[in-house]
Amino acid sequence: MRVITLSLFAATSAVAAAPVAAQIQDAVSIEGTRLEIMATGESTQVPDLVIINAGVVTEAPTAQAALAQNASQMRSVLAALRQAGIAERDIQTASINLNPRYDYGNDRAPQLVGYNASNQLTIRFREIEQSGPIIDALVAQGVNQINGPSLQIEDPDDALDAARRDALTQARERADIYASALGMQVTRIVAVSESGNSRPPMPMAMRAQAESDASTQIVPGEQSLNVTLSVVFELQ
- Residue 232, classed as helix, strand or coil, is strand
Position 17 confidence tier, pLDDT thresholds 50, 70, 90:
very low
Q: What is the pLDDT of residues 100-114, one digit of tens each?
A: 999 888 778 888 999
Using DSSP bridges, classify how beta strands 33-45 and 3-5 pair: parallel, antiparallel or unpaired: parallel
**pLDDT above 60 (res 116):** yes
Residue 79 has pLDDT above 80, yes or no: yes
Asked whether the whole model's pTM tops 0.85, one would answer: no
Looking at the structure, give the CATH architecture of the domain made up of residues 49-152. 2-Layer Sandwich (3.30)
Q: How many CB atoms lie within 10 A of CB 214?
A: 7
Q: Which residues of 151-183 are buried (b: 16+ CB within 10 A; e: fewer)?
A: bbbeebeebbebbbebbbebbbebbeebbeeee
- Enumerate the β-bridge partners of residue 53: 122, 147
Q: Assess if CATH 3.30.110.170 describes domain 3-45+154-207+222-235.
A: yes
Lowest mean pLDDT segment, chosen from 13-27, 115-129, 136-150, 178-192:
13-27
Distance, CA of 173 to CA of 11 (rounded, Å): 17
- Model confidence over 203-236: pLDDT tens digits? 443 443 434 456 677 788 888 899 999 999 999 9
The CA distance from 95 to 166, in Å, is 42
Q: What residues does CATH 3.30.70.2970 cover in the chain?
A: 49-152
Least trusted range by pLDDT, from 84-98, 136-150, 190-204: 190-204
Which residue intervals of the chain bear CATH 3.30.110.170?
A: 3-45+154-207+222-235
Q: Which residues contact 134 (CB under 8 A, 6 or more apart)?
A: 81, 84, 86, 125
DSSP for 97-120, please give it: EEEEEEE--TTS--EEEEEEEEEE
